[in-house]
C-alpha cells in the first residue's frame, strides 16, 4: 500500500490538507492546486476541519492550521515531559539533597505535575496535583517571565515579585525566592521549553531557609538549570 494512502480516502484527503497547511496559509485555490483534491471536496473537508478546530482562517480568509493541532501537540509533549520528569527530578533531588518539583501553568495557577521528595529530615512537601499561586515563588516567576508584556503586566498585580525580578530571571536563566510563597521556605527554579522554544514548565527545588540560606541560587542554580535543559532537550528530540 502507498504510504500516503491508508485506504480510507476521506481521511487521506483531510490529512493531505493538514500537511499542506503545515507550510503556511493557503487559499482554497492554492489548496486545490497543492493537493490535487477536487475543489468542492477540498472546500467541504477544509470547512469540516475548521469546525473541529484543526483548521482556522487568517485575516485574509486563507486556511491555516487551527489551535487544536497545538493543543494535541502540547498534550503529547506533556506526556513525554512527565514520563521523563520522574528520573530527572530524582537525580536532581539526589544531587541537591532537596525536594524537587515540576510545575505547569494553568491560567492563574500553577500545578505540580511531578515530584521527587527529600527522603528524610525537614522538607517542603508539595504533592502531585497541588494548585499553587502564580503570584509568589520562583516557579511562578519562571512561568511568568517569558510571557508577552501584556500578560506580565496583568500577572504582576498583587504579585510578591516585580518586573525587575522577572528581568533578572530572563537574563540569568533561573529564579530564586525566599519566603515568597510560604514563610521559611526558599526555592530555585529554571525553565523547560517545548519544541517551539516556548516555556512550558518550571523545574524547582525547595526547602527550608535554614538549610538553603537567603541565596539558594548560589548553591543549586546550576543543578536546577542543567535538569531543565535535559528535559528541554528530551522534548526537542521527541523521544
For the stretch 183-235, pLDDT in tens is: 889 999 999 998 889 999 999 999 999 999 899 999 999 999 999 999 999 88
Confidence of residue 89 (pLDDT cuts 50, 70, 90): very high
In angstroms, the CA 176 to CA 26 distance is 46
Q: Is the pLDDT of residue 2 over 70?
A: no
pLDDT of res. 1: 39
Q: What are phi and psi of 116, to 5 degrees?
A: -130, 105
Cell readout for 165 is 525580578
- Which of the given ranges, 18-27, 107-116, 164-173, 209-218, has the highest pLDDT on average? 164-173
Phi, psi (deg, nearest 5) at residue 10: -65, -35
Q: 77 pLDDT band (50/70/90 cuts)?
A: low
Would you state the pLDDT for residue 125? 73
Of the listed ranges 44-48, 53-57, 127-131, the least confidently predicted one is 127-131
What mean pLDDT is predicted for residues 173-181?
93
Proportion of the chain above pLDDT 90, given as a percent: 69
Higher pLDDT: 239 or 115? It is 115
The average pLDDT across 66-76 equals 72
Under the banding of pLDDT at 50, 70 and 90, the label for residue 74 is: low
pTM of the predicted model as reported, rounded to 2 decimal places: 0.68
Cell representation of residue 35? 493537493
pLDDT score, position 236: 84
55: nearest Cα among 7, 10, 19: 19
User: How far apart are alpha carbons 174 and 188 in whole angstroms?
Assistant: 7
Which pLDDT band, with edges at 50, 70 and 90, does 75 fall under?
A: low
What is the pLDDT averaged over residues 54-75? 83
Residue 26 CB-half CA count within 13 A: 23
Q: State the pLDDT at residue 101.
A: 96
Q: CA-CA distance, 45 to 36, in Å (whole number)?
A: 13
Rounded to an integer, the average pLDDT of 138-154 is 94
The pLDDT mean for the chain works out to: 90
Amino acid at each position: 500500500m502507498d504510504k500516503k494512502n491508508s485506504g480510507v480516502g476521506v481521511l487521506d484527503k483531510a490529512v493531505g490538507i493538514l500537511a499542506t497547511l503545515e507550510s503556511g496559509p493557503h487559499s482554497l485555490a492554492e489548496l486545490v492546486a497543492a493537493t490535487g483534491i477536487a475543489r468542492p471536496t477540498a472546500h467541504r473537508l477544509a470547512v469540516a476541519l475548521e469546525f473541529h478546530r484543526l483548521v482556522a482562517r487568517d485575516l485574509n480568509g486563507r486556511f491555516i492550521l487551527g489551535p487544536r493541532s497545538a493543543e494535541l501537540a502540547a498534550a503529547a509533549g506533556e506526556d513525554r515531559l512527565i514520563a521523563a520528569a520522574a528520573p530527572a527530578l530524582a537525580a536532581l533531588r539526589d544531587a541537591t539533597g532537596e525536594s524537587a518539583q515540576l510545575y505547569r501553568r494553568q491560567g492563574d495557577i500553577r500545578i505540580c505535575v511531578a515530584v521527587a521528595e527529600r527522603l528524610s529530615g525537614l522538607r517542603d512537601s508539595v504533592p502531585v496535583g497541588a494548585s499553587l499561586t502564580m503570584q509568589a515563588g520562583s516557579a511562578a516567576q519562571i512561568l511568568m517571565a517569558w510571557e508577552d508584556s501584556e500578560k506580565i503586566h496583568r500577572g504582576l498585580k498583587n504579585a510578591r515579585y516585580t518586573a525587575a525580578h522577572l528581568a533578572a530571571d530572563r537574563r540569568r536563566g533561573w529564579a530564586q525566592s525566599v519566603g515568597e510563597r510560604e514563610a521559611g521556605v526558599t526555592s530555585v527554579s529554571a525553565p523547560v521549553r517545548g519544541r517551539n522554544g516556548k516555556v512550558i514548565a518550571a523545574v524547582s527545588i525547595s526547602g527550608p531557609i535554614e538549610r538553603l540560606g537567603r541565596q539558594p541560587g548560589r548553591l543549586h542554580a546550576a543543578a536546577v538549570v542543567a535538569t531543565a535543559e535535559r528535559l528541554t532537550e528530551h522534548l526537542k528530540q521527541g523521544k
